[in-house]
Structure 1
């Protein structure tokens, strides 16, 4: 009788414990990103070497640079450690990396460039709280969003660019619902976090948002989360699902709460369907939160100058500090701001229930954001 040989495969964490130089550098990059509460790590091949950059509070900063002789070897090691095929280099790849003891999961993408493969790792902190109370949204926004979610049917849409905190807001909203009494189903591309009591479906090449939504409607759902409304067919299905008694929660790319309605109409959704089904239309952004320890209060004259130039009504304002042991260059993180319309405004004159301007004034006057952030945001909105 022949002996049975079982091949043992190292886990991701075991591979990361290796003390070889390239593995150590990758491990150090992950540790640095975790300490900085970074959202992404960029590994970028250049003509004369390689850059490792970390996105912290929305901005990229260089962590390490390598000489050209180390470029390809480091990229190959990162691919191996990140579950990417080292045999493929001429087309994009996606993978996932799970590090349970680090309480970290990573979504990984490699894409070929003229100097080699660029790898971007999105960090998913498994300790992230998905709770509206701790989301840092304004109390009024939370109350109005919660009221909309209590509707038996309707559509709730939160718009915003990538990295504006939409996922956290929407899943925090789902977590506020009674998952024991409701059949909640989500369609996501991809699934990043898993939640007890939510039936999560991942979009693949063989399953589009529209096809997935059709299937879900045969699964007796109460609440449906559609990761993104990307096309006319998905938009049409979302509003038909609402009209037949389901609560649909989703996102789309639009620059403001009013632009959400405009975008839906451009997708072919009839105005009467929007007015009768859209219960909450929002746009969300993330602002840099100023450090309370090293920031300073501006004098009255400086505040009046900002108010005059930006047409604001600030009662107080802080100047960003240069950094201290409590922060990174005067910033301690990012907080969401949201402008929105409720069903009352949607059915009447589309006047914002809450605007970015009001959010900006409240956050600045309470010392949460500083002069630099006020000016940057006001000039772009």
Structure 2
């Protein structure tokens, strides 16, 4: 097989890149080790930056998003039993917090790509990368896991295959630096069939630990609790989960959390990770293959979207004008935005989570930080600007 751009991974990064290339008249083929049902059924966070929403609309795949999303004008920080609203819409000159689940984004992108005749090979196995520093790099894989070995010859390869995929390890170890921070806590997340308890997201810093309330639809809610990263979900009965959520989200004003049947729950660890460089030869990493952020800042999908926007511009410049400057600068431009998102995600995580190793002094500093960002307009503007997404810089 032959294509211009081979894409490994049918997550948000790979699919958004394929759509942009199609719009530019550039051919691509996606290979994905999961089935279509698996990628469309994986429940993940869904807070979209304004730039990601704008990209979906430019690609012509945003119609359902615009109809079914929740467009919030702000969110709430809770501490000391009181809520403090950050009016993002007013502080950023009219931008919104858009809530639309990631698996719904993927459904929209897959459906549109297949209707356009796009090539997506699901359920492949033994994916490997070859000849990355040559003029014709290659992707080898087995269709349906155990089928005949296939070879896809490309001009360029985009590694959009997540943290555990084969793309990043294909960059020689001696040439890459990996930065990582492992947090001492995890998130216990649930999906519950319940009415909306709050019209906007709530981030709560409580003596017992962090909690987050968000919505997925008028009938489905997503909630999180800070727990020990090594805890076992078997230790958490539904009654215990609801008890903790009530404790951590309660306010002196009498906020009421509406319960419902829990139909999904699990514990995920939290880390920050960055790979430098994000390219080697004809290989370019995008999304979680290159960087991971803790979910507190809601930046994962959005960073993937910004990576592939720049990569698509670079490929367009190469195919239309024979220019390679944008591709050569891919790592530098992307990492400038990535590190700012890493900074914001770490600030949100350390500000909102209860670290029981902290001294009483450090605990009071944490509460003072929360008081400052909710009482100072300058600090609130900075928080809101980072939350809705910093401008994408291409110079």
Task: Look at both structures and tell me which one has the larger radius of gyration over its CA atoms.
Answer: 1
TM-score range, shorter chain: under 0.3
| TM-score calculated relative to the size of structure 1 | 0.23
RCO comparison, higher one (Cα < 8 Å, 6+): 2
Q: Counting helix residues as a fraction of each chain, which structure ranks higher?
A: 2
| TM-score calculated relative to the size of structure 2 | 0.22
